Amino acid sequence: MKILVTGANGLLGQKLVKLLHQQQDVELLATSRGSGRFSEKGVAYASLDIENRENVQEVINRFKPHAIIHTAAMTNVDTCEQEREACWRANVTAVENLVEAAEAQQSFFVHLSTDFIFSGDSGPYSEEAEAAPVNHYGESKLAAEKVVQASKTPWAIVRTVLVYGITPGMSRSNIILWVKNGLESGKTLQIVDDQLRSPTLAEDLAEGCLLVAKNRAEGIWHISGKEMLTPYDMAIKTADFFQLDKSLINRTDSTQFTQPAKRPPKTGFIITKAVERLGYKPHSFEEGIALLAEQLNQDQP
């Protein structure tokens, strides 16, 4: 099975490259802008600007993938709010380009989407819940979903929530590392307790994407962690795991922070469909912390 991955330099992209490279029956082409930054050796790689229609057609027509897993996106919610045209090009125009090329090959198109297409008024959400985004990022991702659903190639939409994990030389942090580093430095942390999410380990999301692709499981799939937690809950669990001083963690609410983009208060997913039909088995949040801790230890010289 020939699988092309976009966004191979991102957190999910790197986890997917590692997972797919281990599959005996998969021929992988990893793609991203510029040069590849993943640590696996011997991975076929092509530079790809997904906003460039001709570049997309040239790469996909040459490789002729049986499946495309599209992970690349502009995901910084506040940047999307402030740079709306750039967000639309990255999250919608790029999908139009990819879908057009996928249609020509009849590639199975697996599109990554987000809990931020929902209002956050009534989470956790099932796949059938009505979308009502509260920020431009969510609007762009919902528009991309509609492009995929209207396509003439087999498709799946994989929605996820608050992905966390680490990669070698990672440029962006996550809540676990941020809390760990802050508490180890003796800092007092102000963390919101009025937003609910189902945080998703990047390795679990990669596994879910592989299950969808290999089974050609068409339709919409909610792939996330199984627990509903607030950022405050996640911080306390992180402090407990690393045996750090959780008295430095102060409970607050989102009204205390000024951010360009509104956040949906309560999202999180019902993942019963993926568990029962795909055999998806996510880690608990504590298991996810333990995996990150193990990876951090491996990276130490």
pLDDT of amino acid 257: 87
Residue 20 buriedness (CB in 10 A; 0-12 / 13-18 / 19+): buried
pLDDT of amino acid 168: 78
pLDDT of amino acid 104: 98
Tokens of 154: 């087999």
Widest CA span in the chain: 58
According to DSSP, the β-strands at 200-201 and 163-164 are parallel
pLDDT of amino acid 40: 82
Residue 188 buriedness (CB in 10 A; 0-12 / 13-18 / 19+): exposed
- Contact predicate 264/131, CB 8 Å: no
Residue 150 buriedness (CB in 10 A; 0-12 / 13-18 / 19+): exposed
Q: Which of 150, 141, 92 minimizes the C-alpha distance to 116?
A: 141
pLDDT of amino acid 301: 52
Q: What tens-digit pLDDT sequence spans the chain (301 residues)?
A: 999 999 999 999 999 999 999 999 999 999 999 888 877 889 999 999 999 999 999 999 999 999 999 999 999 999 999 999 999 999 999 999 999 999 999 999 999 999 999 999 999 999 999 999 999 999 999 999 999 999 999 999 999 999 999 987 666 678 999 999 999 999 999 999 999 999 999 999 999 999 999 999 999 999 999 999 999 999 999 999 999 999 999 999 998 988 999 999 999 999 999 999 999 999 999 999 999 999 988 876 5
pLDDT of amino acid 37: 83
Tokens of 267: 């999202």
Question: Domains plus CATH for the chain?
Answer: 2-164+200-226+268-283 (3.40.50.720)
Q: How many CB atoms lie within 10 A of CB 84?
A: 14
pLDDT of amino acid 298: 83
Q: Which of 110, 112, 47, 109 minimizes the C-alpha distance to 74?
A: 112
Could you tell me which residues come within 8 angstroms of residue 185 by beta carbon, excluding any fewer than 6 positions away? none
Please state, in angstroms and rounded to a whole number, the distance separating the CA atoms of residues 125 and 20. 29
